């Protein structure tokens, strides 16, 4: 163990590792990059994280430049979980601190997984209604701000964060809360308050940046690139000032979230599903537009050729996949009480066109509906090289342009020589494509960036947004940063500097992407595969 690792190990309660066999395990996430950290630190408390940040500050004063990157469960698709410096893994900060059943609030450490949290909450008849990988941590859900499957009805993670605690670049702890203008001014003027500086800097920046704020607000929908949620710091009309929104999609670049207080919902009735198959995308979308008025929980849309490929591997979907293996399949979910759900299901059946097929989920066919996920997993891992690559995941296509986008996808397939069946959620307009690229070859690695650029150009021609469903990280940033308005990009840099003047948190993520480093850290092997979707 190096001297630096030993010294840091003495400072914290948690553990520090720099053995090759351990750091290698943290060298990849779900992206196409690989970066091996110098050391991996596993803190167990907010105080540990503070000590780590202050230790890093002491190193810088002695001329030893380093940086800190925070990691949840290692599921990031954009390379934001990776570093070749000091990696902080939050896996041991996974405790539920307090549950207030009456007020429907819970206080947790940021490293707790969605699965562990909801399992505990179910005993109290409560739930955090987020449909994401169950292994995702709460901190990751906030920092990555990915649009989840239930966001169309329940609005996503930002709707449930009451307040959060984060360790800042100076080692002090920020606890976010709402301030009116008078309270904010007192906060800023309190020289003994370690939080006063950050509040003052962000307040000044917002007051001095009318042009970039107007440009950001002109965007037609949420774009997780940069720090677009800055527009929610000071909400118009309410005169409320709150820093929490800046942490959404920040990917650990502003501070390290350590604790969160979440608002909760009462556990809903059992989710019931309805499947419909269509010969064409036109038929599928016209039908879905009608179903949308019923208030569904989710409306998943799949190019049926996905299930045809899964069937070739022995994962037959059943339902009616064979009949519509060249069409589209919609899976519509409701979480209303049984009476209301049955009424909505009947409306779904009554509205189905003669050319389509439909089936309700029952006890007898529940296994067929469960095969949807296993069939998807088979498709995503149907190559001996491993899992299909995350490059064109979590992008936004407006509902008004979706049909055009689908109709012209064959043009992109022809240009890239890749089959690109679409899947995603209609309610959130969040979709994904998985190109089959071979990362073992120089040509395959070179094609990764070429594909991303071609896809981005294609997407934008239909008013789509590459980062409309999740932030840019290290990978999408290569394209996004080039296309961002220079005034807005510079404004985002000022926000980052206001939080982290010395740039110690996750350099290379979001705003300062580097093509040379991207190429240097491209994987030479494919993803190991088998992940939950």
User: At residue 297, what are phi and psi to the nearest 5 degrees?
Assistant: -75, -45
Q: Which residues of the chain have pLDDT under 50?
A: 384, 530, 533
Residue 136: per-residue pLDDT? 96
Residue 166: per-residue pLDDT? 98
What is the CATH topology of the domain spanning 96-266?
A: 3.30.465
Tokens of 229: 């949620």
Residue 190: per-residue pLDDT? 92
Residues 144 and 224: their CA atoms lie apart, in Å, by: 8
Domain regions of the chain by residue span: 3-92+494-520, 96-266, 268-382
Spatial contact of 476 and 452, defined as CB atoms under 8 Å apart: yes
What is the CATH topology of the domain spanning 3-92+494-520?
A: 3.30.43
Spatial contact of 50 and 173, defined as CB atoms under 8 Å apart: yes
Spatial contact of 294 and 258, defined as CB atoms under 8 Å apart: no
What is the CATH topology of the domain spanning 268-382?
A: Alpha-Beta Plaits (3.30.70)
Tens digit of each residue's pLDDT (9 = 90 or more) over 472-482? 999 999 999 99
Fold match, 3-92+494-520 / 96-266: no
Residue 528: per-residue pLDDT? 60
Strands of the sheet containing 173-175, edge to edge, are 96-100, 105-109, 256-263, 161-167, 173-175
Residues 109 and 117: their CA atoms lie apart, in Å, by: 10
């Amino acid at each position: 163990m190096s001297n630096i690792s030993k010294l840091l190990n003495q400072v914290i309660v948690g553990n520090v590792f720099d053995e090759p066999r351990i750091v290698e395990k943290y060298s990849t996430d779900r992206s196409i990059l690989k970066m091996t950290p110098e050391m991996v630190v596993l803190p167990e408390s907010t105080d540990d994280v503070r000590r780590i940040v202050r230790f890093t500050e002491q190193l810088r004063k002695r001329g030893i430049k380093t940086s800190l990157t925070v990691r949840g469960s290692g599921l990031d698709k954009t390379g934001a979980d990776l570093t070749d410096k000091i990696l902080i893994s939050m896996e041991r900060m996974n405790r539920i601190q307090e549950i207030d059943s009456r007020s429907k609030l819970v206080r947790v450490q940021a490293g707790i997984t969605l699965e562990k949290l909801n399992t505990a909450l179910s005993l109290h008849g409560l739930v955090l209604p987020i449909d994401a990988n169950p292994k995702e941590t709460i901190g990751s859900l906030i920092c990555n701000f990915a649009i989840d499957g239930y966001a169309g009805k329940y609005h996503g993670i930002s709707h449930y964060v009451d307040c959060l605690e984060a360790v800042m670049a100076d080692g002090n702890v920020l606890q976010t809360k709402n301030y009116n203008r008078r309270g904010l001014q007192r906060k800023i003027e309190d020289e003994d308050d370690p939080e006063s500086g950050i509040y003052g800097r962000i307040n000044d920046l917002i007051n001095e940046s009318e042009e970039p704020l107007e440009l950001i607000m002109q965007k037609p929908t949420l774009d997780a690139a940069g720090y677009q949620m800055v527009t929610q710091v000071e909400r118009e009309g309410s005169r409320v000032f709150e820093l929490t929104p800046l942490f959404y999609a920040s990917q650990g670049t502003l501070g390290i979230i350590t604790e969160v207080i979440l608002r909760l919902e009462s556990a809903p009735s059992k989710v019931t599903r309805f499947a419909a198959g269509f010969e064409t995308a036109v038929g599928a979308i016209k039908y879905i537009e009608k179903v949308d008025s019923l208030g569904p929980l989710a409306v998943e849309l799949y190019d049926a050729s996905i299930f045809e490929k899964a069937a070739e591997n022995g994962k037959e979907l059943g339902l009616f996949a064979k009949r519509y293996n060249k069409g589209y399949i919609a899976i519509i979910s409701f979480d209303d009480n049984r009476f209301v759900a049955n009424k909505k299901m009947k409306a779904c059946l009554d509205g189905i066109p003669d050319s389509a097929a439909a089936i309700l989920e029952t006890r007898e066919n529940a296994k067929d509906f469960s095969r949807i996920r296993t069939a998807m997993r088979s498709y995503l891992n149907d190559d001996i090289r491993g899992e299909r690559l995350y490059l064109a995941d979590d992008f936004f296509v407006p509902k008004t342009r979706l049909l055009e986008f689908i109709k012209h996808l064959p043009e992109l397939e022809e240009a890239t020589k890749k089959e690109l069946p679409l899947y995603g959620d209609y309610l959130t307009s969040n979709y994904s494509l998985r190109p089959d690229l071979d990362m073992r070859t120089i040509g395959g690695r070179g094609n990764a960036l070429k594909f991303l650029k071609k896809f981005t150009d294609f997407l934008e021609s239909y008013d789509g947004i590459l980062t409309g469903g999740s932030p840019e990280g290290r990978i999408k940033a290569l394209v996004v940063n080039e296309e961002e308005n220079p005034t807005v990009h510079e404004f985002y840099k000022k926000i980052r500097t206001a939080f982290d003047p010395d740039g110690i948190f996750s350099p290379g993520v979001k705003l300062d992407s580097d093509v040379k480093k991207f190429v240097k850290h491209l994987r030479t092997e494919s993803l190991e595969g088998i992940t939950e979707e």
